[in-house]
Chains A and B, each alone.
Chain A
């Protein structure tokens, strides 16, 4: 998926790598026993370790380690059996210790990859450079006071996975596809909930530009704060154009950190830091190197769920679904599970259509997640059965579905209670057809000349019966009556 900035002096391509911070799903923090739950009252989920009290010692959470390994396996990555926690030193009020415990030279996960699904059906691999474990900082509230900043340390010490991609991304849209796929994998693995609004998934983008066809790497800028799927493409696109304009005007790109302003749709320099950061990493003397057992890695590998790529391939193979339908259905595990439950013993394409068009449509309109769907997979399945058995027409089925969505009732009882059964008794239809023929001699003439427009009569019959007539049978009846 090439993407080009047309400059005044030529064509430019972009080179983008993403750094994603994914909050690990765990009960307790990375190095303390305080809770990670979102939304607690300020400073109610803080242990003395998180508050940086003198003499407190960090003790590593086993489950967070396993979550990082699971994620590494899901990214088809090298798992490093030896990793080291280091201190990244900087001062900020929401970091009480004055350093973040992170991993630097020896991360827990090395090279891996994420396959992105391009719109033309092809896939492309985006390399993963590394994944490491680190602590989150607390939260600073700058807008509550004129002269003060408020600090809440609840988030301080929560485990994060920093997932760094190779600079393999060549189009703004590819960055979105990468993030979507990464989020989907994390959610399948149960290692991060992927909630960008709550900040469980945060993204920084490293962007540089170069002349089309060049192998050289330009100077990159790090764009912070691109915290929604929508803004990732926008921020990268803006930044690429900014750099091209700068270079074509004879300027130079400064390596710097820039902030994405979602309201103005632009990036701006954060050059108010009086000097470049010097984090002075060194191994944390409070923590021994982490050594992983091969047996643990193999156990976690064996426990991995079927991931989106494998599931999509299986859906194409096993159910004969199109790449597109399969891709939509596997994006979320819950959707895939719903589909599989609904389609058991039924036509997969038909079920996929119902799920993707009708169910998603209704859920979208109601603003509900699939988990809260009023229609169960079994109920959708029986509705499809009613259509296939000829009990109701396809048109009525959509009305029945709307009622199911509203009431949560079974389709069978809705059809009975509201008398929506398809009329297949031709003795009830025949008088209607006779009447229509008698009342519309002009149309009869037209249809006799051109039998292709006989559908007009069928349409009228369907209208007169409230959609309950079987259109197939009506067609036959009309043709017979008109001698076609």
Chain B
């Protein structure tokens, strides 16, 4: 399976990763190889197999509806590149 450079560019854009032309070429080759390797699984007929969501036959742990967190804006905002009062500040996002 071969991934072309346009596909790499699209995936990079969705992931918000900027690639140089050279990186894009390299990524196309590398991603193609990875897909080829994984494609070996196509040799097995899995049409009657349900996707496996978890290897453990257990139910998820649920939390009770109790307020147990919050009230610590300083912690939340500590890594903010910029803040205004208790808000995060980000470059203008226009609708």
What is A's interface to B at a CB cutoff of 8 Å? 26-28, 32-35, 41-49, 51, 59-65, 84, 89, 91-93, 140-142, 144-153, 259, 270, 272, 274-275, 278, 280, 283, 287-291
Q: Which residues of A contact B69 (CB under 8 A)?
A: 32-34, 47-49
Contact B70 A33 (CB under 8 A): yes
Question: Is there an interface contact between A45 and B70, defined as CB atoms closer than 8 Å?
Answer: yes
Known contacts: A145-B84, A149-B91, A278-B14. The answer to whether A288 contacts B53 by CB under 8 A is: yes
Contact call B93/A140, Cβ cutoff below 8 A: yes
Are the CB atoms of A62 and B92 closer together than 8 Å? no
- Please classify how large the interface on chain B is, using the bins under 10, 10 to 19, 20 to 34, 35 or more: 35 or more
Set B14, B65, B71, B87: member contacting A27, Cβ < 8 A? B65
A145 to B10, CA, bound (A): 32
Given contacts A28-B63, A43-B76, A152-B87, contact A33 B68 (CB under 8 A): yes
B67 at the interface (CB under 8 A from A): yes
Point out the residue from A42, A61, A92, A287 that lies within 8 Å of B87, measured CB to CB: A42
Contacts from B to A (Cβ < 8 Å)? 10, 13-14, 16, 51, 53-54, 56, 58-71, 73, 75-77, 82, 84-95
**Complex Cα–Cα for A61 and B85 (A):** 31
Chain A residues whose C-beta falls within 8 Å of the C-beta of B77 in the assembled complex = 43
21 CB < 8 A contacts A-B: A28-B65, A33-B67, A33-B70, A34-B67, A43-B86, A44-B70, A48-B76, A59-B61, A63-B64, A63-B65, A93-B88, A141-B87, A144-B87, A145-B92, A148-B89, A149-B90, A150-B89, A151-B87, A152-B87, A283-B51, A287-B60
Partner of B95, one of A45, A61, A91, A270: A270
B-chain residues with CB within 8 Å of residue A280 when the two chains form the complex: 14
Residues of B within 8 A of A151 (CB): 87-90
Chain A at the B interface: mostly helix, strand, loop or mixed? loop
Question: How far apart sit A145 and B93, CA to CA, in the bound complex (Å)?
Answer: 11
Q: A28-B63, A28-B68, A62-B63 are in contact. Are A148 and B92 (CB under 8 A)?
A: yes
User: B66 — which chain A residues lie within 8 A by C-beta?
Assistant: 27-28, 33
Q: How far is the CB of B84 from chain A (nearest CB, A)?
A: 6
Task: Known A149-B90, A289-B53, A289-B54; judge A33-B14 contact (CB<8 A).
Answer: no
Given A275-B13, A289-B54, A142 and B92 contact (CB-CB distance below 8 Å): yes
CB nearest to B64 among chain A residues: A62
CB distance from A322 to the nearest CB of B (A): 41
- CB contact between A28 and one of B51, B67, B84, B89 (< 8 Å): that residue: B67
Check B65–A93 contact: CB distance below 8 A.
Answer: no
